[in-house]
Amino acid sequence: MTRTLILTRHAKSSWDSPALSDHDRPLNKRGRKSAPAIAAWLRENGWLPDEVLSSSSARTRETWERMGLQAGKVCFHRTLYHADPADMLIELSGATEQTVLMLGHNPGIAVFASQIVQKPPEHARFYDYPTCATTVIRFDIEKWADITWHSGDVLGFVIPRELLE
């Protein structure tokens, strides 16, 4: 059996209101365009989530909302707000559905992406994981609790700029 992870960094956020806490920053104009573009790419490739594990921040919530996708289970976790790779792995290991979309932040998501795959994609932006970058990764496991580092096969990687040009 296989499991699929869609690993997405939140879309570009706004810095227009310095009084807002980092956790409460919304998306900016570019971010509001990027999220639906990533969703369209996922739809075109048949990679749709059954479950969403997301940071609780305003920008990850808005990214998910603007993607316009549906999932049976959607959970926003404070532990995924600026989570390190170990915490992300713990959250993912508790997932129950076949295809999981995880929405998070840098630097954790970039490091997590590089440590969870067997072989990284040949893409210049993979290691810095810009806003709304998305990797789709397949794992040959029965359940998410069986996931281990360096075990996933990359099915696709894209950044919004490539979709919006």
Show me where the domains of the chain are located. Answer: 3-164
Q: Which of 6-20, 55-69, 111-125, 141-155 has the lowest mean pLDDT?
A: 6-20
For the chain, the average pLDDT equals 96
Q: Using alpha carbons, select from 14, 15, 43 the residue that is nearest to residue 29.
A: 14
SS3 of the chain: the string is CCEEEEEEECCCECCCCCCCCHHHCCECHHHHHHHHHHHHHHHHHCCCCCEEEEECCHHHHHHHHHHCCCCCEEEEEHHHCCCCHHHHHHHHHCCCCCEEEEEECCCHHHHHHHHHECCCCCCCCCCCCCCCCEEEEEECCCCHHHCCCCCEEEEEEECHHHHHC
For residue 39, what pLDDT is reported?
98
CB 92 within 8 A of CB 53: yes
Of 110 and 19, more confident: 110
> Is 165's pLDDT higher than 80?
no
Q: What is the pLDDT confidence band of residue 16, given thresholds at 50, 70 and 90?
A: confident
- Note the Cα 112 to chain centre separation in Å: 10
**pLDDT score, position 15:** 86
Per-residue pLDDT, 161: 93
Q: Please give the average per-residue pLDDT across 76-102, as a whole number.
A: 97
Asked if 110 and 135 touch (Cβ cutoff 8 Å), the reply is no
Q: What is the predicted pLDDT for the residue at 134?
A: 98
pTM: 0.96
**pLDDT at residue number 136:** 98
- Residue 98's pLDDT band, with cuts at 50, 70 and 90, is very high
| Pairing relationship of beta strands 51-55 and 73-77 according to DSSP bridges | parallel
- Region of poorest pLDDT, from 8-22, 108-122, 131-145: 8-22
May I ask the CATH class of domain 3-164? alpha beta
**Cβ atoms within 10 Å, residue 100:** 22
